[in-house]
Structure 1
Amino acid sequence: MTAGLPIEARLDAIQAALAAHSRALLVAEPGAGKTTRVPLALLEAPWAREGRLLLLEPRRVAARLAAGFMAESLGESVGDTVGYRMRGESRVGPHTRLEVVTQGVLTRMLQEDPLLEGVAGILFDEFHERSLEADLGLALALDAQSVRDDLRLLVMSATLDVEALLGVLGEGTPVIDCPGRTFPVATRYRALNAREEAAPQQARALLDAMGQQAGDALVILPGVAEIRRLARELSNRSPELAVMELHGRLPLEAQRRALRPDPEGRRRVVLATAIAESSVTVDGVRLVMDAGQERVPVFQPRSGLTRLVTRRVNRASADQRRGRAGRQGPGLCLRLWAEEQPLVPHGEPEMRQADLAPLAFELARWGVTDPGSLAWVTPPPAAALSAGRELLGRLGLLDAEHHLSELGRRAARWPTHPRLAAMLERARALDALPLACALVALLEGRGLDDERDLEQALQARLKAPREHRQWQRDAERLARIAQVSLKVAGLAPLGELLALAYPERIAQRLDVPGRFRLASGGLATLPDHHPLAHAALLVAVELDGEASGARIFRAVGLSQKRMEVLYPECGEWRASLAWSDAEGRLIGEQVRGLGAVVLERRPLAKPPAEAVRAALIEALRRRGLPRDDVLTQLQGRVALLRRTFDSDEQAAWPDWSDEALLASLEAWLAPHLDGITRLDAVERLPLARLLLDTLDWPLRARLDELAPERLPVPSGASHRVDYAPCREGQPPVLAVKLQECFGWQASPRVAEGREAVLLHLLSPARRPLQVTADLASFWANGYPEVRKEMRGRYPKHPWPEYPTTAEATARTKRRDRS
């Protein structure tokens, strides 16, 4: 066992918490030893002796390393008492009692056995990363725990939003804090010149810092491309250094080498992605250079595409990175940005920026149609969930009520994205199942970035599988599930398979070579010299995520005949109407095709009312809701109540954000569009009243009580409350002359006193004097200065020395005396 770790002093408290409660939170700073000591200690708990423990890790490399370290500390091999399980790889045995699993594995285990028979407890490690799979795993585990009250849950992290988690786990959940074992870390800042290439500047900054700080260096960069550029620069400047890469695309042995001292005794520079931010400790590191950036996938519900965005790192992540320099001795953190550069406090949960099609599929497998019936730390955003369900419906995996279809039930056996699972399940009908297995292994594998031509990349792997070991293992694993041999007859069905997985990305060439219309309605482009620039139809497998004019990175050609076989609805004529901004009217015709891919057109005599409504709704989604102050105020009032009250009542108040309203136009607006053919007529509809009519009467009655439109003030007048800021999570605002507030002891409150109103106190000329949500503090501390300054400027208005006992008024002193 590892001695001397800070977590040792907290093990008894953790044991006691889980002996008395089924849930607990552990907030342990970096270096405390939580990942490897807590699971082994809990194996000795009476409640754990008859079952297994699951330890969830966010990354595969962290899972392997944690399992290896714990097994070694027991003097055993991995697969004895401690094992690990991840997609495509498992080392567990008949006596394994602690399984280190990646987050997706937990979801599959729960889906296959909702009661998790034989599992005594689940430990969620590094939960602060807030991955989509961790959030889903916790929600499903809590649901399972409602039936199995003997199942223990422990959520662990270096940083946790304790209040938010207690809202889900229960206010009585014990919270254990543990300090980390860290040494002093000096922090220096060195902003880069944006007009120069980054890699040479980074190399100079790093070498300068290494001249001042002993030990090895860890450099955290946003992606593999940046790592390779800096690696080349350092190799040219300082060939005596051992420059190593650490990222998820590397083979396991290369990852392990990066974590160990150099066998030749050279000084190391480890260039890593955010994989080194948590979980993994790189021995010997005393210098951390942080580029201050992260690269994250952000899903765009309107386009249905995901875009990789490089952005400034958040403060919590920057602090985590800094701490890596002080794990084993005093260190130095060099931050490549200006010290005054502001950072947001925390990162966004992946739930708010991810493609939710996999989540929607797992919810349907779990038997949940209303995500509000589960306990979420961050509920799924309505628009992204709707987009995910729309995709699953197009793939044939869900029915209209969001239940699994027959195809969906069969596709659940595949450990892959739902769109690829749908393709695998339908590939047998094309006599192309071996090719489908090879293709999925390629699409979900690593190392494809440098190969733009998908057909060539696949052909290279099929010809020399031993040169692509990981692809071979993944493809063979899928072939075993399919019960077929991995013998591919040819690549002819490749376009058809991809069309099954990406129906919304089937694209039709427009008049200009290289310019295509996607079936989803967006535009996409290829360079005019690309071999597929003149293709009539293609499937865009990878795009950059721009909603208009997306660049196609990988594509495969598709014949019209095969598309019509795959999608028989292409033979059906349908009315198509679209709003023309140029002409200011709806333009209609009859078409047949797939979505916006039109194979044939003919005139439309009279558009059906349903088609008119659909066209107007689509135009509104493209342009956004009309900005109407009455609607804005209503949205703010409901947003305030939705976030203020407990979970039961919160579920009752609807989500009326712009995003959610645009996603649900069919439900609340479409019934009122009969006879309307122009957008300006839609904009004149009383949208706020239409929304109010959808509220249950008890909620509608409580709305005015909890979030009144106007508030009385001590002067006897009443003033309008501005709830627009509540749409962004801010408090409501009341702008009122300061003299009208005399006599108020404290700030007014709404929502049964749970929310203070932000007062904008105005001068007699209605100019801002003070903004406060704590009126009592203002009277005591701010008012004397305001009084001193304003008495001479506005002598006709009262400025009493004691405002809490003075008479409020909206008038001048002269009018009061008359």
Structure 2
Amino acid sequence: MTSAPFNPSEIGRGLAFASAVDDLTAALDRSPTVVVSAPPGTGKTTLVPPVIADRVRGRVIVTQPRRVAARAAARRLAQLDGSSIGSRVGFTVRGERQVGPSTRIEFVTAGVLLRRLLDDPGLDGVGAVIIDEVHERALETDLLIGLLGEVRELRDDLVLIAMSATLDADRFATVLGTDAGAAPIVTQATPAHPLEVRWAPCPTPRLDERGVTWAFLDHVASTAVAAHRALVRTDPTADALVFAPGAREVAEIAGRIRGLAAEFDVRELHGQIPAAEQDAVISGRGPDRPARIIVTTSLAESSLTVPGVRLVVDTCLSRAPQRDAGRGMTGLVTGPTPKASAIQRSGRATRQGPGVVVRCVDERTFAAAPAHPAPEIQAADLTDAALLLACWGAPGGMGLRLVDPLPAVSLGDALAALRGLGAIDSEGRATDEGRALARIPTAPRLARALRAGSALVGGRTASEVIALLSGDLRVADGDAQAALNLLRTGRSPDARRWEQEARRLERFAGATGTGPGAAARGSADQTGLLIALAFPEWIARRVDRSPHSATFLLASGTRAGITGPLASAEWLAVADVTRAQGRAAAGTGAIIRSAALISENQAEQVAPHLCTDRLEAQFVNGRVVARRERRLGAIVRSSVPVRVQANEGGRDAVRHAVSEHGLGIFIWSDAADALRRRLALLHHELGSPWPDVSDTALLGTLDSWLGPELSDLAAGTPTARIDLAPALRRILPWPAAVDLDVLVPERLAVPSGSQVRLSYPPVEDPGARPVVAVKLQECFGWAETPRLVAGRVPVLFHLLSPAGHPLAVTDDLASFWAGPYAQVRAEMRGRYPKHPWPEDPWSAVPTRHTTRRSALGSGRDT
């Protein structure tokens, strides 16, 4: 590819990063992998790509975490280069592509490049990849770092640049480096223009149990209006940028500002507004337009230059994903903005001149915020990532140099989901179906629903529904069908974007649809059917209803609430359910955000693997009571009382009930409890072949020791009549069991001739000592403390008074007779004068009787 070189000197005019270009070229002379660290607003996103393009053969790919950033960066660079977008500089994002054969620099989202790597692992025709905003720790960016590191092992000519706006460059340099050393770091530490920091804390809390408070939103709006009015008096060209945690808060703050200051042009900027509106906001304002206040989410936090901004008002709140492992879902949680992100936000005010940031917190609150955002990999659903890695040939990230490993629990959930889709085999490798799903530009679950649903409802209908589910589109009242109907009319502001996505997905749909629902386009049960194909574990049945809301039980076992028209439904197919923050909908702690109607028959059709028909037993007053239950996952479809039979089905039901209730349902006899304690000590000290008799182990091996009793319980025998001692003897290891009474005897012979019962430690504390409680007089002359388990465990003596009260505790009899005994004798001989308290216990005759009775005997008890 030949074309005129770029002109970095002209492109970088006025950009602070221009002073670091020589350092960058020097670093590239030493290494093809470089980390660039520079504050926001210094121009690295604009200047680094043309510098690299003039050094390499082939196209330069620049990744951005967001579509709006990729489009904006490409247009900005094309403008500075004096070329038209799509010629020397272009971009590719989901649903839009402007590149040509002469394109030298292509801006893309990280997701676009990941899918491109699956089709072209060697990146043929690409001379360099620049990964921007790596500090945000987006999941797709982290994956790119790992995959491109492996590509570089095969292509030493590929230049790889990672760019960070915060001071954590060392970590990325280590990951991108080699065993010989880290990648070089190019730093440009001076911001483009000075920044004035002001503090405007709200007198009332920012958050309560319902989320962001109305009082705080009022405070942010009034603070923004006052600060901007003061600024435009000295600089009428200045615009303001107000950061809010989410789209709802953006709308609330924008509405308040409009009511307070009619003289300003108030705009909203977030991911749910159409791309054209996003681009209009970041294109600046005309000379005759009023000053603007742009209220935005973190969308404008990095990579974007919003022209004219001199003021940033920051709520210092962010909304980030947080995984709920118990429910298997991820929810957005509002909390303090990490300081690194807040610094990026403030940098929006100094991109084109001196600026001001007003933070709506005090300095102490700001200082207490986290230093950096949590990596998305810690909270995200990893299903898409796990499929991509399996297709790449690195299941679970094995062998890749990742910034952080994939969390084991989340990865396990993702792999289980992929196995359920038939996307990976038992070894974690991608199947043909998995590779087909990975090439559809949407999540694996939705890709599966698109392929399978096309045959049932038609390719066009399936594509429309999946486009709604994958497009981050508005779903009012959680009603996916109503949202789809509105999109089809074209009256929704999201209609154009949705239509483009539907047309794109239709190319992957395959079947034209010959199923019974194919002709009736647009019905609610079709939408529900497709949702259930994607998320069968989120099929839900109503279990409770109040006047304004309802609670549904999902097949996964989670309860979730919903308000609005769908609250009256009996069955729902749920597409989006998230944990509630503070506010627990219908007392569930989870909220259904998108769903459609589905019938019970449809639910059974799309989720046969979740359907069961089995006997369920439980113990009531010590006896087994059973019901035959038809379930869809955790949802009980029907339940009928039945009589348990002592057959395999009855045994299975009883086994399950015992596992659920635990061994506490049984009455442990003294003999059973003693045997279990002895076995626990042997297992603790000797291990195999002596069995583990903990609750967990016994419940996991019920058939091996409680088999006959399970049949008895199924036949109606109450738990009180089950003797567990013979049951435990079934797991004694033969022939080692012949030594049981030698290793852990039931009784211990003491010098008086008595056989005293040993008390073994509890099963849950087998490391404690066996105890023998015996009268002190019965142990006269006993010097050596006996030891059990082939000499491994000394016995602990509780030496008792004649009345059975403890006098001393020792595991060293010789030391006791030589020392403490004298004090015990002095205290006890007056209290128990009829019993022997010899001055010399070594020569005294051991006895369990009084002095008189001992004298009448032979001198030794028998």
Q: TM-score, normalised by structure 2?
A: 0.67
Quote the residue 2:325 is aligned against: 301
Quote the residue 1:516 is aligned against: 552
Residue 458 of structure 1 deviates from its aligned partner by 1.1
Task: Mark the CA change 1:587 to 1:607 in structure 2 (over 3 Å): closer, same or farther.
Answer: farther
Quote the residue 1:116 is aligned against: 123
Quote the residue 1:666 is aligned against: none
Determine helix, strand or coil for the equivalent of 2:369: coil
Residue 609 of structure 1 deviates from its aligned partner by 10
- Tell me the amino acid that sits aligned with residue 148 of structure 1: R
* Contact 1:434/1:488 (<8 A) preserved: no
Quote the residue 1:496 is aligned against: 529
Q: Name the CA distance, whole Å, in 1 between partners of 2:151 and 2:344.
A: 33
**1:20-99 matches, cutoff 5 A:** 20-45=30-55, 48-49=56-57, 51-99=58-106
Determine helix, strand or coil for the equivalent of 2:122: coil
Q: Name the CA distance, whole Å, in 2 between partners of 1:540 and 1:133.
A: 26
Q: Name the CA distance, whole Å, in 2 between partners of 1:329 and 1:323.
A: 10
**1:141-540 matches, cutoff 5 A:** 141-170=148-177, 171-194=181-204, 197-213=215-231, 214=235, 215-259=238-282, 260-341=284-365, 342-450=368-476, 452-464=478-490, 468-482=495-509, 489-491=521-523, 492-510=525-543, 514-527=550-563, 530-533=564-567, 535-540=569-574
- Tell me the amino acid that sits aligned with residue 33 of structure 1: G
Q: Name the CA distance, whole Å, in 1 between partners of 2:652 and 2:507.
A: 51
Q: Gaps (5+ residues) in structure 2?
A: 1-9, 206-213, 514-518, 663-695, 707-727, 729-761, 768-862
Quote the residue 1:729 is aligned against: none
Q: Name the CA distance, whole Å, in 1 between partners of 2:152 and 2:292.
A: 47
- Tell me the amino acid that sits aligned with residue 40 of structure 2: P
- Tell me the amino acid that sits aligned with residue 145 of structure 1: R
Q: Which stretch of the first structure deviates more once superposed, 183-192 or 133-142?
A: 183-192
* Contact 2:617/2:657 (<8 A) preserved: yes
* Contact 1:465/1:472 (<8 A) preserved: no
Q: Gaps (5+ residues) in structure 1?
A: 618-668, 689-818
Determine helix, strand or coil for the equivalent of 2:123: coil
* Contact 2:630/2:637 (<8 A) preserved: yes
Residue 24 of structure 1 deviates from its aligned partner by 1.1
Per-residue deviation, residues 315-349 of structure 1 (Å, max 9, x unmatched): 11112222222233332211101221121111101
Quote the residue 1:557 is aligned against: 597
* Contact 1:81/1:96 (<8 A) preserved: yes
Q: Name the CA distance, whole Å, in 2 between partners of 1:454 and 1:370.
A: 33
Determine helix, strand or coil for the equivalent of 2:42: coil
Q: Name the CA distance, whole Å, in 2 between partners of 1:564 and 1:397.
A: 22
Task: Mark the CA change 1:20 to 1:464 in structure 2 (over 3 Å): closer, same or farther.
Answer: same
Q: Name the CA distance, whole Å, in 2 between partners of 1:24 and 1:584.
A: 70
Task: Mark the CA change 1:36 to 1:383 in structure 2 (over 3 Å): closer, same or farther.
Answer: same
RMSD: 3.3
Q: Which stretch of the first structure deviates more once superposed, 213-222 or 443-452?
A: 443-452
* Contact 1:588/1:607 (<8 A) preserved: no
Quote the residue 1:646 is aligned against: none
Residue 607 of structure 1 deviates from its aligned partner by 2.8
Determine helix, strand or coil for the equivalent of 1:90: strand
Residue 6 of structure 1 deviates from its aligned partner by 2.7
- Residue 631 (structure 2) pairs with residue 593 (structure 1): yes
Q: Name the CA distance, whole Å, in 2 between partners of 1:79 and 1:671.
A: 69
- Tell me the amino acid that sits aligned with residue 366 of structure 1: W
**1:390-789 matches, cutoff 5 A:** 390-450=416-476, 452-464=478-490, 468-482=495-509, 489-491=521-523, 492-510=525-543, 514-527=550-563, 530-533=564-567, 535-546=569-580, 548-569=588-609, 572-573=612-613, 591-601=629-639, 605-607=650-652, 673-675=700-702
* Contact 1:60/1:102 (<8 A) preserved: yes
Determine helix, strand or coil for the equivalent of 1:192: coil
Q: Name the CA distance, whole Å, in 2 between partners of 1:349 and 1:576.
A: 43
Structure showing greater Rg: 2
* Contact 1:577/1:615 (<8 A) preserved: no
Q: Name the CA distance, whole Å, in 2 between partners of 1:95 and 1:616.
A: 71
- Residue 20 (structure 2) pairs with residue 10 (structure 1): yes
Task: Mark the CA change 1:120 to 1:405 in structure 2 (over 3 Å): closer, same or farther.
Answer: same
Q: Name the CA distance, whole Å, in 2 between partners of 1:586 and 1:308.
A: 44
Determine helix, strand or coil for the equivalent of 1:344: coil
Residue 472 of structure 1 deviates from its aligned partner by 1.0
Per-residue deviation, residues 101-155 of structure 1 (Å, max 9, x unmatched): 1010110011111111111111011111110000011111112222222222110
Q: Name the CA distance, whole Å, in 2 between partners of 1:576 and 1:56.
A: 54
Determine helix, strand or coil for the equivalent of 2:302: coil
Q: Name the CA distance, whole Å, in 1 between partners of 2:279 and 2:85.
A: 16
Q: TM-score, normalised by structure 1?
A: 0.71
Q: Name the CA distance, whole Å, in 2 between partners of 1:590 and 1:149.
A: 65
Q: Name the CA distance, whole Å, in 2 between partners of 1:96 and 1:339.
A: 47
Determine helix, strand or coil for the equivalent of 2:150: helix
Determine helix, strand or coil for the equivalent of 1:415: coil
Q: Name the CA distance, whole Å, in 2 between partners of 1:142 and 1:257.
A: 37
Query: How many aligned residue pairs are there?
Result: 626
Residue 66 of structure 1 deviates from its aligned partner by 1.1
Determine helix, strand or coil for the equivalent of 2:307: coil
Determine helix, strand or coil for the equivalent of 2:650: coil
Identity %: 36
Task: Mark the CA change 1:464 to 1:281 in structure 2 (over 3 Å): closer, same or farther.
Answer: closer
Task: Mark the CA change 1:187 to 1:673 in structure 2 (over 3 Å): closer, same or farther.
Answer: same
Task: Mark the CA change 1:86 to 1:211 in structure 2 (over 3 Å): closer, same or farther.
Answer: closer
* Contact 1:419/1:502 (<8 A) preserved: yes
Residue 560 of structure 1 deviates from its aligned partner by 2.0
* Contact 2:175/2:401 (<8 A) preserved: yes
Task: Mark the CA change 1:611 to 1:155 in structure 2 (over 3 Å): closer, same or farther.
Answer: farther
Task: Mark the CA change 1:534 to 1:289 in structure 2 (over 3 Å): closer, same or farther.
Answer: closer
